[in-house]
Amino acid sequence: MLGAHDGPKHPGASLVRSRRGDEEVVVLRLSWLQASELLGALSVAEREVVALALEGRSNLEIAGARGTSARTVANQLASIFRKLAVGSRAELARLCALAPHSTR
């Protein structure tokens, strides 16, 4: 759970808190421009991995398409998640939905 001092990791972003039953739900809100800037900070290879991941491909399928190993793809995704401050492919997809052309 986020504390009172915890804020968004992205400048200009905002956190929206709500409750769903006994559970606190926190949503990070970014503008499409902020999302585009974050995705633009990725390398070309990382953007290729993002695009393939958004197609629903597994690490092994991405590796086959890019001529690398599944371990390399896992490492690239971990780096992408760190850079974008997301924790899953679902969060990555939500971020990319704000800036759909930035992964192409």
- Cβ-Cβ contacts under 8 Å for 61 (sequence gap 6 or more): 52
What is the average pLDDT across 12-27?
A: 61
Fold annotation for 31-98: Arc Repressor Mutant, subunit A (1.10.10)
Query: Is the pLDDT reported for residue 25 higher than 80?
Result: no
Q: How many CB atoms neighbour CB 89 within 10 A?
A: 15
- Do 36 and 102 touch, CB atoms closer than 8 A? yes
User: What is the reported pLDDT for 35?
Assistant: 65
What span, in angstroms and rounded, lies between the C-alpha atoms of 84 and 42? 9
What would the pLDDT profile of 32-53 be if each residue is shown by its tens digit?
556 667 777 888 899 899 999 9
**Is the whole-model pTM more than 0.75?**
no
Domain ranges of the chain: 31-98
- Under the banding of pLDDT at 50, 70 and 90, the label for residue 16 is low
Sequence length of the chain is 104
* Rounded Cα gap, residues 52 and 65, in angstroms: 9
